[in-house]
Amino acid sequence: MSKYEKLSDVLEVYSELRNPLLDAVIKTLSVMHGKNLPFALELMLSELFYKQNAGDTCIRAEAESINRFYEDLFNQHRTLSEDGYYDTEPFSPLISKTDIELSFDDCFDLIGSDESSNKPLILDLDRLYIRRNLCYEKQIADFIKKASGDCSEQKLGEDDINSIKSLLDVLFERADDDKSRNQEFDMQKIAAAMAAVSHFCIITGGPGTGKTTTVAKLLLLLQKLNPSKNNILLCAPTGKAAGRMTESIKKQFSNNEPSPKIGSVAYSFPKVFADENEREDIKNRICKTAVTVDKLLGSIPHKAHKIRNADNKIDCDILIVDEVSMVDAANFAKLCAAIREDTKVIMLGDKDQLASVEAGSVLNDLCVDLSDSTRVFDDEKLSVISSLTGYSVDRLKTTDISNNTVQLNFSYRFSDYKGIGDIAGAVNEVYRESYTNLIEDRLNKPFLDYKDQVELKEIKSSKSWRENNSNLVSLCSAIVSDYGEFWKSLDASHYEGDRFTGITEELAKKIFKELDKYRILCSNRGGLYGIQSINEQIEKKARNELNTLNAKASSIDSEWFIGKVILVTKNNYALRISNGDVGFVAAERKKDGSAGPLKVWFGDENSVFNVSPVFLTDYESGYAMTIHKSQGSEYDKVCMILSTDLNPVMTKELVYTGITRAKKHVCIYSDRQVFLDSCKRRVTRESGLSDRL
Helix, strand and coil percent figures for the chain, each rounded to 5: 45, 15, 35
Determine the residue type at 165: K
Mode of pairing for the β-strands spanning 608-611 and 619-621: unpaired
Determine the residue type at 545: E
Domains and CATH numbers, the chain: 7-130 (1.10.10.1020), 156-408 (3.40.50.300), 459-680 (3.40.50.300)
Residues in the chain: 693
Closest CA to 569 of 531, 528, 513: 531
Distance from C-alpha of 87 to C-alpha of 320, rounded to nearest angstrom:
56
Distance from C-alpha of 492 to C-alpha of 548, rounded to nearest angstrom:
12
SS3 684: coil
CB 259 within 8 A of CB 226: no
Distance from C-alpha of 632 to C-alpha of 89, rounded to nearest angstrom:
47
Q: Helices 187-196 & 158-171, crossing angle to 10 degrees?
A: 140
Distance from C-alpha of 93 to C-alpha of 46, rounded to nearest angstrom:
16
Distance from C-alpha of 319 to C-alpha of 686, rounded to nearest angstrom:
28
Ranges in the chain, pLDDT < 70 = 1-3, 79-88, 151-154, 177-182, 255-258, 434-435
Provide DSSP, 430-471: GGG---HHHHHHHHHHHHHH-TTTEEEEE----S-HHHHHHH
pLDDT at residue 640 in the model: 97
pLDDT at residue 13 in the model: 81
Distance from C-alpha of 347 to C-alpha of 201, rounded to nearest angstrom:
6
φ, ψ dihedrals at 109, nearest 5°: -75, -15
CB 206 within 8 A of CB 411: yes
Strands (E), 52-173: 59-60, 111-112, 121-124, 127-130
Bind-site residues for ATP: 205-212
Mode of pairing for the β-strands spanning 299-300 and 303-306: antiparallel
Buried b / exposed e along 62-75 (16+ C-beta atoms within 10 A): ebebbbebbbebbe
Distance from C-alpha of 619 to C-alpha of 621, rounded to nearest angstrom:
7
Mode of pairing for the β-strands spanning 495-496 and 454-458: unpaired
| Residue 372, C-beta contacts closer than 8 angstroms, at least 6 positions apart | none
pLDDT at residue 1 in the model: 39
Mode of pairing for the β-strands spanning 595-603 and 608-611: antiparallel
Bind-site residues: 205-212
Q: How far is CA 564 from the centre of its chain?
A: 26
pLDDT at residue 376 in the model: 85
Closest CA to 87 of 77, 97, 72, 73: 77
Mode of pairing for the β-strands spanning 299-300 and 405-408: unpaired
pLDDT at residue 79 in the model: 63
Distance from C-alpha of 654 to C-alpha of 656, rounded to nearest angstrom:
6
φ, ψ dihedrals at 455, nearest 5°: -135, 145
Predicted confidence (pLDDT) per residue in 372-411, tens digit? 878 888 888 999 999 999 999 999 999 999 989 999 998 8
Determine the residue type at 501: T
CB atoms within 10 A of CB 78: 14
Burial label, 154 (beta-carbon count in 10 A; 0-12, 13-18, 19+)? middle
CB 74 within 8 A of CB 68: no
| Residue 281, C-beta contacts closer than 8 angstroms, at least 6 positions apart | none
Distance from C-alpha of 81 to C-alpha of 85, rounded to nearest angstrom:
5
Q: Helices 652-659 & 672-680, crossing angle to 10 degrees?
A: 110
pLDDT at residue 299 in the model: 81
